[in-house]
Chain A
Amino acid sequence: MNIHEYQAKQLLKQYGVAVPPGDACKTVEEAQAAAAKIFAVGNKLAVVKSQIHAGGRGKGVFKDGFKGGVKLAKSAEEATVHAKAMLGNTLVTKQTGPDGRVVSTVLVAAAEDIKKEFYLAVLLDRANSRPLIMASTEGGVDIEEVAEKTPEKIIKEHVDPAMGFQPWQGRKIAAALGLKGDLASQAAKLFAGVYKAWWEADASMVEINPLCVCVGADGKEKMVAVDAKIGLDDNALYRHKDIQEMRDLAEESPLEIEASKFNLNYIKLDGSIACLVNGAGLAMATMDIIQHYGASPANFLDVGGGASKDQVTAAFKIILSDPAVKAIFVNIFGGIMDCNVIATGIVAAVKETGLTLPLVVRLEGNNVVAGKKTLAESGLTLITGDSMADAAKKAVATVAK
């Protein structure tokens, strides 16, 4: 699960990480009040940031032509105008796809006087199953590009999960970033706080880009997390009631939410052949084989180990609500589950949904003979395949016509 920037900053703040003062606003009135508060304490500049889960907000364009999902404002009035333009509007960025996302919250915050930008992230290093801190002097830019072109500019520090992040590690990273004196000790504390937030929230990733050296109103330099992104481990959400409440269903695909109600794992893609498969690995492989034979998969869909009639019916309804779908490929390896139960489920689902699209079924496994018989005697015009390849070719042929 992902959370919004403002939620990530709220979480980080609890761990002593400095973030620019600001408020999340859902209405123009709230934005006006938040902006007024910022300018009242002597700030010269505010920033209004659209809160959506996708990146590339600054360079994004709203559907009504308004440019920029992140805007600076020199007065509370200007900030209010920006907030009004953004709220309720749909922002399209390079990560949202052409449909964009509706902005229902803006973060109105003080725009800091930034002297230097760094990159900081905590994530799991899968190669050795240990937490990894990544930092770089190249902040505020695309870190993947930095990693590719100048890998020596990325500092990596592993953390012993039993010990946790150690003060010397904080000093080491701060020094490697060229920080000295009070800033170095501020940074070391901030790294420890970010690591602790990552660990205790069961985050999959915390990314602060940029992490900045800012000059405060008092003229003193300070370390501030100017942007923040947090992804969370779905498996651990059960033990974080507070984080569960941060879930924003508007950021998720309605079809995927509907699928999850039936324990179906569905991800919409752009192709024309819908797949219904048991098992995540086989579901991915089914998408791949469709592409191999020259068509594109319309979705990833794992029905899991059960595949009851209700599940198959729900899956068909979800698949059919995608207008791009031209054919359905059911690929089931029923190792333990009874293929005849699945076949009965398929027949019932076809009848209930009044399916008219070509349906290709490949059934293999337990009680498969009875399952195939059920399909053959159903009176439905469906195409069967003997192997995965045979069925995939037939499915591709139905859309190639």
Chain B
Amino acid sequence: MAILVTPQTKLLVQGITGEFGARHTKLSLDYGTQVVAGVTPGKGGQFFEHGGHKVPIFDTVADAVKQTGATASAVFVPPPFAADAILEGVDAGLDLVVAITEGIPVRDMVRTKQAMAGSKTRLIGPNCPGIVTPGTGKDSHGGCRIGIAPGYIHKKGNIGVVSRSGTLTYEAVWQLTSRGVGQSTCVGIGGDPVNGTSHLDVIKLFNADPETTGIIMIGEIGGSAEEEAAEWIAQHCKKPVAGFIAGATAPPGRRMGHAGAIVSGGKGTAEAKIAAFKAAGIGIAATPSDMADTLLKMM
């Protein structure tokens, strides 16, 4: 079944006509993803054309949902307008909004998260690579690719991957695929301090998904989301989990690229997170090169 999205999921893209959004919409179409609509205010009625696909563009998300039945959205809208775009998706009743945009002010996300409470919409991101549920075709073609991950590195299978970082997700996925092991779904939850979906949220979904038989959880310095997930895993998770925490060598008080990757006031250290993983029985990859092997040894 995979989690969050399946190859049948109907996707709309907010910001489809921007350079970044357009480039990745083309890649998703090439991958075989059901991109059914685009939204760019003021460009309603036009079409996004690529490789024989003709995707209708709408002025509003509500219109796009009504006309096409889209249930998920990828947000490629620039930072000053991204929170507004997310809330438009929530208002339109989407099941899933995946915010790829990097650089959204924290205050905007604090308000957005508050405003979303009680809605049916799940937000993934922002500042994330997105989600991939691999397909069964060549190079996992025919899957659902929402965001900016390279589709071809995936392979249909049974391992769930959750990470804050894009390139580390790709690294883990490629390690699995190179060993002939496929993935159920790969989720990048994003590197910002305020995000819509946590490690724990995704772990719970993987735990409940009959298709997922093992999990790779990649964390990094900052916050305490990894510790919370580890605590739950120790109590409830029925599946083997292997993990890696990035940033053991990062100096305290410095933001390491991601807005959320910072050790401040002695909180959010790699040491504390690794200790929490160990206490929860999560397999620790000694290096980022060993993520897949660490999990496979546990299975």
Contacts and interface: CB of A to CB of B under 8 A. Distances in A.
A293 to B, nearest CB: 8
Interface string A227-262: 000000111101100000000000000000000000
A131 interface: yes
A50 B32 CA distance: 61
Most-contacted residue by chain A among B110, B167, B222, B259 (CB, 10 A): B167
Interface stretch (A211-219, A352-360, A384-392): A384-392
Contacts of B222: 126
A284 B220 contact: yes
| A interface residue count range (under 10 / 10 to 19 / 20 to 34 / 35 or more) | 35 or more
B249 A282 contact: no
Contacts of A277: 167
A136 interface: no
B113 interface: yes
A269 B105 CA distance: 28
Interface string B109-137: 11101110000000000000000000000
Contacts of A335: 149-150, 153, 166-167, 170
Nearest to B219: A281
A336 B149 CA distance: 7
| B interface residue count range (under 10 / 10 to 19 / 20 to 34 / 35 or more) | 35 or more
Contacts, number: 172
A280 B261 contact: yes
A235 B259 contact: yes
A396 to B, nearest CB: 12
B223 interface: yes
A379 interface: no
B275 interface: no
Contacts of B168: 279, 281-282, 285
B256 A289 contact: no
A147 B258 CA distance: 26
A53 to B, nearest CB: 11
B256 A300 contact: yes
Contacts of A284: 165, 220-221, 246-247, 249-250, 256-257, 261
Nearest to B222: A126
Given A300-B257, A335-B153, A289 B165 contact: no
Contact of B244 (A162, A199, A269, A285): A285
B265 interface: yes
16 contacts: A124-B110, A129-B109, A161-B110, A236-B106, A280-B258, A281-B164, A281-B218, A282-B167, A283-B256, A287-B250, A288-B248, A288-B270, A289-B288, A300-B254, A333-B174, A392-B289
Interface of B: 27, 79-80, 103-111, 113-115, 148-150, 152-153, 163-171, 174, 191, 193-194, 218, 220-225, 228, 244, 246-251, 254, 256-261, 265-266, 270, 286-290
Given A129-B113, A279-B166, A389-B289, 20 more contacts: A124-B106, A126-B194, A126-B225, A129-B109, A147-B265, A239-B80, A279-B167, A279-B168, A280-B256, A281-B169, A281-B246, A284-B250, A287-B247, A287-B249, A288-B246, A291-B248, A297-B249, A300-B250, A302-B257, A335-B153
